Amino acid sequence: MKKVLVIALCILWASNSSAQKLVAQASKTRLVVGEQFQVEFSIDAQCSGFKAPSLAEFDVYGGPNQSVGTEYNNGVLTHYIGISYILAPRKEGKFVIEAASVNVGGKRVESNTLTIEVVKAQSQQAQTQNQQEQSSASAKGTNENIFARSTVNRSKVYQGEQITVIHKVYTRLSLRGFQEVKFPPYNGFWVQDTPPKQIDLNPENVDGVIYSVADLRKSYLFPQRSGTLEIEPVEVSCVVRQRSNKAPQSVFEQIFGGGYEDAVYDLKSKPVKVEVMPLPEENKPANFSGAVGNYSFKADIDKEQVKANEAVNITIRISGEGNLKLIEAPKIKFPDDFETFDAKSSDNVTATGGGVKGSRTFEYLVIPRKEGDYTLNDISFSYFDPQKKSYITLPSPEFTIHVEKGKEDSNGQVPVITMKADVKTLGTDIRYIKTGDPDLRQKENHFFGSTGFYGAIGAPVLLFIGLIAARRRYIDQNSDLAAVKRRKATAMAKKRLAVAEKHLKADDKSGFYEEVFKALYGYLSDRLTIPVSDLSKESITNALRSRNVSEETCAQLNAQLQDCEFARYAPASVTGDLQNVYSQTVSLITLIENEIE
C-alpha cells in the first residue's frame, strides 16, 4: 500500500526538477531511550518504487506518512514529496539508519545515512530542565537546526603566512535573509577581504545531516606576531520563515504562504585559535624584510647609456602569492656619485578564491652626476617559503651604466650639481682680466671700522646661534615619535577623508565606507598611540575613557565604526545619505579632539 501511494503522488507531480536527490533528515540526532523523533525522506523529482531502510532498532509510533507540498525559499519555488516516520530508540548506543532508495528516471537513487546517538534516560526533573534550556537556546538561535561557524584552513602557521577564514551559517530552516552581521576585528592580523558578492545557499553534509550553508564572508589573514592568536566570533541575526501557531484564516492563506511568520535568530560562532610560529633565525638573509609566500622577482633598467645629470629609472616587480602589500622596497646600494630618491610603489593585488595574488612594483629614480662606467650587481630579493620552511633569495642580473660627459652651458662648462640641492654653475666667479685704464676713485668714508662693518661681522654669529637653537627645538619636538603622531593625527585623518570624498562624489558606496573606516582607524591609531593591529572597539573605548572622552562620544564612535564595517561588506543593503555620513565623521573627529586630554 505504501508503494502504491508514493507512485500515485509521483504521477501527480507537475514539474521536472534538476536536483533529483533523495534527502534523509532527522529532527534529532542525539536523544534518550524512549524519546520520540521524526525521520523524513524527501525528494523534489518524479519518482517511484520507494524502499525504506530497516528500522529494527526503533519502535515505530507513526508512519509511513506521505506528504506533498511547495516551499518558497530564497526566491525559488520548489516542490517536494516526503515519507516520514515517528520513531523511538529502544536502547542506548549509536545506530545508523541506512539509506533509503527510489527510482528516478530509470535510475536508482539512494539517500544519505543518518547516525543516531542514544544516551541514558534522565530523571524527570533533569529532563524538564534540559527541555527548558533547549527552548531558551532555540529562542536565541543556537540549536542544531541553525548555527554559525567560523573555519580556518590551517590552525598552525608561520608569522606572515596566509590563512583563509570563512564565516558560515548552517540552517535546516527556511532562511529569508540577514538583519545584521558583526564580523570580528581580527586583532593581531593584517586582513585582505574578498570582494562582496551575493550570498547563496549550498548543501553541506555535517555528521550525516544535510544543511543549507550560506558563506557570509571569506577573508585572508596574515598574522603579524607569533604566539597564540584568537579569531573572535562572528555575530549574525538571521530572519527565518517558520510555521505560525496561529491557524490560517482561509484557503488562500494556506496556498500563498498563510500560517507562517518570520522569526529572528541571533547566532554567534565559537572563537578560533591559531598557533603562530616565529620565522626561523637560522640562515635568515641580511636583506629579508618580512615577505612570506611564494614569489618571483624581476628587475629592469630603462637605459644603460646616459649623460651626466640625466635620470635613470630602475623597476623591480615582485609577483606571486602571499603578504604582497606588506613587502618593503628592496634596498639597492648605488654608487656615491648617484643621486637617489625614495622608491615609489604600486600594487596590482587581488583576493580571489585561491588567495591573495598579484604583483607589487617599485620604481627607483637615480641621477648619475659624474661620467664613468658604473655596475649595479647587488640587487636581490629574499622571502620565506612556508611550504619549504626555508628562506629563498632571488638575484637579478647585474646592470652596467655608461655615463658620458654632461651637456655644456653657455660658458662652455659642464654644470656641477650638488646632491639634492640647487644647481650652481662654476665659472661665473672668475672673470677675464680687464685691460685699459682703471677708473679709480677715492672715498672719504671707509666701510672698515663702521657700524655696518661690525654689524656685518656679528650677523653671521647671531644667525648661527639662532639656527642652533631652532635645530635643538626641532629635535626635542620630534624625538618623541608618539607625540609627533598625535600632533599630526588630525591632519592625516583629513587627508584620508579627502580620498573618501572622491568616492562620495562618484557614488561609490563600497569605496567610500572603506576609506571612512581607514580614516577613523588611522586617526585613532595615531592619536591614541596604539598600533593598528592591536586596535579593537574595546581597546579604543578604554583608551578614550582614560583620556576623559565622554561616554556619549565613545558610543557615537562605536556606532560609526560598526556602520562602516557592515557597509564595507554589504554595500548593497546600505541606505542613507553618504554626505551625512561624511559630515558625521568629520564632526566626530573634531568632537574627540575637543574632549581628549
**pLDDT confidence of residue 131:** 44
C-alpha cell at 365: 629614480
Closest of 481, 514, 479 to residue 499, by C-alpha: 514
What is the pLDDT, as a whole number, of residue 167? 93
CATH no. for 2-121: 2.60.40.740
Q: Are 520 and 560 in contact (CB under 8 A)?
A: yes
What CA–CA distance (Å, rounded) separates 511 from 501? 10
Please answer whether residues 210 and 112 qualify as being in contact, where contact means their C-beta atoms are separated by less than 8 angstroms: yes
- The length of the chain is 597
Residue 298: HSE in the Cβ half-sphere, 13 Å Cα cutoff: 8
Grid coordinates in use for 250? 482561509
Cβ atoms within 10 Å, residue 583: 11
Cα gap 516→568, rounded to integer Å: 10
| C-beta of residue 571 within 8 angstroms of C-beta of residue 578 | no
Measured CA distances, 489 to 525, 526, 528, 544 (Å): 8, 5, 9, 15
DSSP state letter for 529: T
C-alpha separations of 85 from 67, 69, 99, 444, 514 in Å: 12, 17, 14, 129, 52
Provide the 10 A C-beta neighbour count for residue 376: 22
- For the stretch 388-393, contacts whose Cβ atoms lie closer than 8 Å and that sit 24 or more positions apart, written own/partner, are 389/280, 390/283, 391/283, 391/284, 391/285, 391/288, 393/285, 393/287
Given CATH 2.60.40.740, say whether it is the number of domain 293-404.
Answer: yes
Grid coordinates of 144:
542544531
Other C-beta atoms lying within 10 Å of the C-beta of residue 9: 19
Angle at Cα 200 formed by Cα 44 and Cα 80, nearest 5°?
10
Gap between the Cα atoms of 163 and 351, Å rounded: 12
Out of 3.40.50, 1.20.120, 1.10.3470, 3.30.70, select the CATH number for domain 481-595: 1.20.120
**What pLDDT sits at residue 249?**
52
Note down pLDDT in tens along the chain; length 597 residues: 344 334 334 433 333 433 467 888 887 888 888 888 888 888 877 777 888 898 888 888 777 877 665 554 444 555 667 788 888 888 889 999 999 888 887 888 888 999 989 887 654 444 444 444 443 333 344 467 899 999 999 899 999 999 999 999 999 888 888 878 899 989 999 898 888 777 888 888 888 788 889 998 899 999 999 999 999 999 999 988 877 665 555 544 554 445 567 888 999 999 999 999 999 999 999 889 889 999 999 999 998 899 888 899 999 999 999 988 888 889 888 888 888 888 898 988 888 777 888 999 999 999 998 889 998 888 899 999 999 999 999 998 889 999 988 776 555 555 555 555 444 444 445 555 666 666 666 655 666 667 777 777 778 888 888 888 887 776 666 555 555 555 566 777 777 778 878 877 877 777 787 888 888 878 888 777 787 767 777 888 888 888 888 888 888 888 877 777 776 665 555 556 778 878 888 888 888 888 877
Cell triple for 1:
500500500
Question: Are the CB atoms for 73 and 56 separated by under 8 Å?
Answer: no
Q: What angle do CA 117, 118, 123 make, to 5 degrees?
A: 140
Q: Under the phi-then-psi rule, with left for phi > 0, alpha for psi from -120 to 50, and beta for the rest, what region is 412?
A: left
Under 8 Å CB-to-CB from 419, ≥6 apart: which residues? 339, 369
* Beta-strand relationship, 114-119 and 93-97: antiparallel
Give pLDDT, residue 561.
78
Give the C-alpha separation, 338 to 308, whole Å. Answer: 10
What residue ranges do the domains of the chain occupy?
2-121, 140-277, 293-404, 481-595
How far is residue 457's CA from residue 372's CA, in Å, rounded to a whole number?
A: 43
CATH 1.20.1070 fits 140-277, yes or no: no
Are the beta carbons of 390 and 327 closer than 8 angstroms? no
Cα–Cα dist 57/90, whole Å: 7
Q: Tell me which residue of 96, 100, 107, 116 sits closest to 22, measured CA to CA.
A: 100
Query: Do 291 and 319 touch, CB atoms closer than 8 A?
Result: no
Query: Residue 1: what pLDDT?
Result: 39
Positive or negative torsion for Cα 535, 539, 545, 548: negative
> What pLDDT sits at residue 388?
92
Contact partners, residue 380, CB within 8 Å, separation at least 6: 287, 297, 330, 393, 394, 395, 396
The answer to whether domain 140-277 and domain 293-404 are alike in fold is: yes
Q: What are the backbone angles phi and psi of residue 551, rounded to the nearest 5°?
A: -65, -35
